[in-house]
Amino acid sequence: MKQLIAATISSEAAEVWNSWPKKSAEFDYPGRSACLSRLLVESGSMPGHIEALKLREGSLLGSLAITRESLVTFLRLTPPIEATRREKLRLQIDDIQDNTHGTIYFNFGLSDSYLDNCYPGGK
């Protein structure tokens, strides 16, 4: 069953609406109303998708934090390793810190001076 609706939309939304082509049998285009109906139906599942993505992001950040701590422990407990490998690990740790900044997975106690002390021979 089709239902007629009336809505007040913003000027930006009206601009988008007016830019959509009208129904055309010649070009086999369904028209603006059909496109809007499809968007409304598809957007009904969007909150669930957004929530799933947030949970996934949290899980990935947690995995990054675990990896960061493993790298720090490795650097602290391993016999001296060559400077290029040490620097590569340091860059990975810094990258994880950047990606977890502003989250509960950020390690506030992981300062540059602490990392320097983990590395035999410093930076």
Q: Residues 5-62: pLDDT tens digits?
A: 778 888 998 888 888 888 877 777 788 888 888 888 877 777 888 888 888 888 898 8
What are the sequence ranges of the domains in the chain?
A: 11-43, 47-118
pTM equals: 0.51
Residue 122 pLDDT = 47
How far apart, in Å, are the Cα atoms of 116 and each of 29, 44, 49, 68?
Answer: 64, 51, 42, 15
Residue 79, amino acid: P
